[in-house]
Amino acid sequence: MTEISINIDGIDPLDFFGVNNSKFSYLKKAFPTLRMVSRGNTIKAEGSEDDLQTFRDKVDRMVVHVERHGKLNEDIMERIIVGELDNRVADKEHKNVIVYGNNGHIVRARTDNQQQMVTECDKNDMLFAIGPAGTGKTYTAVALAVRALKEKSVRKIILTRPAVEAGENLGFLPGDLKEKIDPYLRPLYDALEDMIPMDKLAYYMQNRIIEVAPLAFMRGRTLDYSFILLDEAQNATTPQLKMFLTRIGPSSKCIVTGDPTQIDLPRSQESGLGVALRILSDISGISTVRLNESDVVRHRLVREIIKAYDTLKSDREHQ
């Protein structure tokens, strides 16, 4: 007899095992040749190697189903067990999928340049994603970070932004420091909430598995086995960007996103993003993807607005 343990971390045990272990009882009836118990997020099963291999395969597909669709009932379990539902067939139908979000929401690369971000992130440890508003660079980067956490290729996610906005000052906002900073980090929270159930996101943040913090909080840290994202990097100075880029530790990945056309720094301060792109472009392991108006996935008017401002800038440069 052989024994195996199957861990279903990342899934609420209630979603998988059911109220009063009703779904787990169904699972035991479906595999009568195995002896099994559930403890927390772990299933221990004992039986022949062939039966255990079949059992592991079916449970893995059930886990994928819960991650994609947020639910699992006995009908779905039966269809998976008898082979009517095959996640591998579904994978072929969902090209360019990065991660499955809440309630089966599919987060995929929707343009060629977004897909290039996925490809370059897989090949390199550091990626610069440069482009105008609405091109999906931040959303794609957050999705890649969530995927890495789900796949256990990293232990934590660090999401950060410079606390700089056009014409505004943190000191004039109401509330304590967290309340002052959170509005600047809201786009990162929005993306996370699309991809991770609220209770699980709260657990991750309380246990610092996911951190969302302003750039200044990164000083002095070494981030090992982490997926690190710096958003709105055009609003970081050269010393700040150097500080951030040197935080990366072993087995970590880093994505830097920015829009050089929307710099909100005081005129006396130079954006560090352009400097970094110039001096780091030839280093192996660092890649750059440039997105443009053709990648805009917001309202169709956003694409036209970007074109209009690009035309204005071009006209001024030629005057």
CA atoms within 13 A on the CB side of 82: 6
Identify residue 115 by its one-letter amino acid code: Q
Question: Which residues make Cβ contacts (< 8 Å) with residue 101, sequence separation at least 6?
Answer: 107, 194, 195, 196
Q: Quick one: pLDDT at residue 168? A: 45
Helix %, strand %, coil % for the chain, to 5? 50, 20, 30
> Dihedrals φ, ψ of 41, to 5°?
-100, 20
211, containing H or E segment = strand 210-214
Beta pairing partners, 290: 130
Question: pLDDT per residue over 16-33, tens digit each?
Answer: 888 888 888 888 988 999
Question: pLDDT per residue over 44-95, tens digit each?
Answer: 999 998 889 999 988 888 888 777 666 788 888 888 887 766 655 455 445 6
Range 139-147 average pLDDT: 95
Domains of the chain: 2-91 (3.30.1370.10), 104-317 (3.40.50.300)
- The pLDDT mean for the chain works out to 84
Q: Quick one: pLDDT at residue 15? A: 80
Q: Quick one: pLDDT at residue 166? A: 45
Q: Quick one: pLDDT at residue 164? A: 64
Cα separation, 168 vs 157, in Å, equals 28
Smallest Cα–Cα separation from 241: which of 148, 131, 128, 138? 128
Burial 268-306 (b: 16+ CB within 10 A, else e): eeebbbeebbeebeeeeebbbbebbbebbeeeeebbebb
Cα separation, 40 vs 8, in Å, equals 9
Q: How many CB atoms lie within 10 A of CB 35?
A: 13
- Compute CA distances 210 → 18, 41, 271, whole Å: 27, 20, 27
Identify residue 45 by its one-letter amino acid code: A
Outline where the chain has alpha helix (H).
13-17, 22-30, 49-69, 74-81, 87-93, 112-123, 137-150, 177-195, 198-206, 238-245, 272-280, 300-317
Q: Quick one: pLDDT at residue 293? A: 82
Q: Quick one: pLDDT at residue 229? A: 96
What pTM, to 2 d.p., does this model score?
0.71
Q: Quick one: pLDDT at residue 179? A: 63
* pLDDT band with cut points at 50, 70 and 90 for residue 186: confident
